[in-house]
Structure 1
Amino acid sequence: MLSEWQAHKAQLRQYVSKRVKDIDAVDDILQDVYIKASTNLHQLKSQGSLKGWLYRIAHNTIMDFYRKHQPYDELPADLVAEEADDGLEAREELAQCLLPLIDDMPEKYSLPLRLAELEGVPQQVIADKLGLSLSGAKSRVQRSRVKFREKLMACCDVEIGHDGFPDMTPKKKGGCSRC
């Protein structure tokens, strides 16, 4: 291995020095390449591919060098983290707007939808409360969502804004009385 290394060392130094401007780091990288090659010599499939294999190790070692030495700016000590706006207030406001549409639905659909979507009740609890099996409660919630969507689309034009929140406007013709 040592004789093969000596044969390729000068070429590898050129390869590394073209990609790394810190001259002191070039020798460190070459040393890491030699250590990695010596340690993983058993992975080399054929002696004919040694040169390409050494270049691949050198390339990966250079990438590791740059990952470790990425520049960064220190943050000021008085920097305070901003509160995350998770949109809770907007969701609550939207839920209040949608409540009349949910109330217009038959109780068979409005109750599971209200429990699942507005109150965040787990579907197993909904099943117990309504006297349904878990799969029955899941189906009921899914049907409620579909019926609600149909009702909403018949009543309002809905668009999702850039901020990810919906914007609704009542339809001019044929809209419902709740909008």
Structure 2
Amino acid sequence: MLSEWQNHKAQLRNYVYKRVDDASAVDDILQDVYIKASSNLHQLKSQGSLKGWLYKIAYNTIMDFYRNKLPYDELPEDLIAEGEDTVGEARKELAECLRPLIDDLPEKYSTPLRLAELEGVPQQEIADQLGISLSGAKSRIQRGRVKFREHLMTCCDFELNEGGAVTGYSPKKEGCSSQPK
């Protein structure tokens, strides 16, 4: 096996090198190919198919390499993660900003929308509280979202980036019955 391996080693190295984006991993992959080939030599059907068999092992080993690669970069140790308190505080602050705009909607829509979006009440509980069916509650929440969006667009100018994300906003003075605090 060793003499046959030496005959194909240079070609296999080029094959792996062209397919792996980490040049330092090429020799490790090549070593794994040799180990797999040596330990599974009994599976080789004929000596004439050795080259194709080695390339198949090399291909599978390259696929294993990419499967085992981490799909993300490690975060630095000194990075402090945002705690639940920070996220919760930001949510409360945003909710208080949006509350006046939601309260401007007709009560039929503002109450279910406020309960669902600002207070996190499940839709079935909203239906029970309002004495309406679940589908009625869902419908009012959806319509409330549409009316809220229209009202928001009337009250604020938004700056969007090329991807459509909001990068800035400014309140309009006219067209709103109440301004966020």
TM-score after normalising by structure 2: 0.65
Matched letter for residue 14 of structure 1: A
Question: Which residue does the alignment assign to 2:6?
Answer: 10
Retained in 1: the 8 A contact 2:101–2:178? Answer: yes
1:84 counterpart SS class: coil
Retained in 2: the 8 A contact 1:37–1:54? Answer: no
Retained in 2: the 8 A contact 1:158–1:168? Answer: yes
Structure 2: runs of 5+ lacking an equivalent: 18-22
Task: Map 1:1-179 onto structure 2 (within 5 A).
Answer: 8-16=4-12, 19=17, 29-36=33-40, 38-39=42-43, 51-61=51-61, 64=64, 82-84=80-82, 87-159=87-159, 167-172=168-173, 174-179=174-179
C-alpha displacement at 1:133, in angstroms? 1.7
Change (3 A) 1:154 1:141: same
Q: What percent of counterpart residues are identical?
A: 55
RMSD between aligned alpha carbons?
4.2
Matched letter for residue 176 of structure 1: C
Change (3 A) 1:68 1:114: closer
| Cα distance in structure 2, aligned partners of 1:166 and 1:28 | 49
Retained in 2: the 8 A contact 1:12–1:58? Answer: no
Aligned length: 163
Matched letter for residue 11 of structure 1: N
1:142 counterpart SS class: helix
Change (3 A) 1:27 1:143: closer
Change (3 A) 1:88 1:157: farther
| Cα distance in structure 1, aligned partners of 2:109 and 2:39 | 68
Structure 1: runs of 5+ lacking an equivalent: none
Retained in 1: the 8 A contact 2:33–2:57? Answer: no
Retained in 2: the 8 A contact 1:160–1:166? Answer: yes
| Cα distance in structure 1, aligned partners of 2:108 and 2:30 | 73
Retained in 2: the 8 A contact 1:109–1:141? Answer: yes
**Higher RCO (C-alpha under 8 Å, 6+ residues apart):** 2
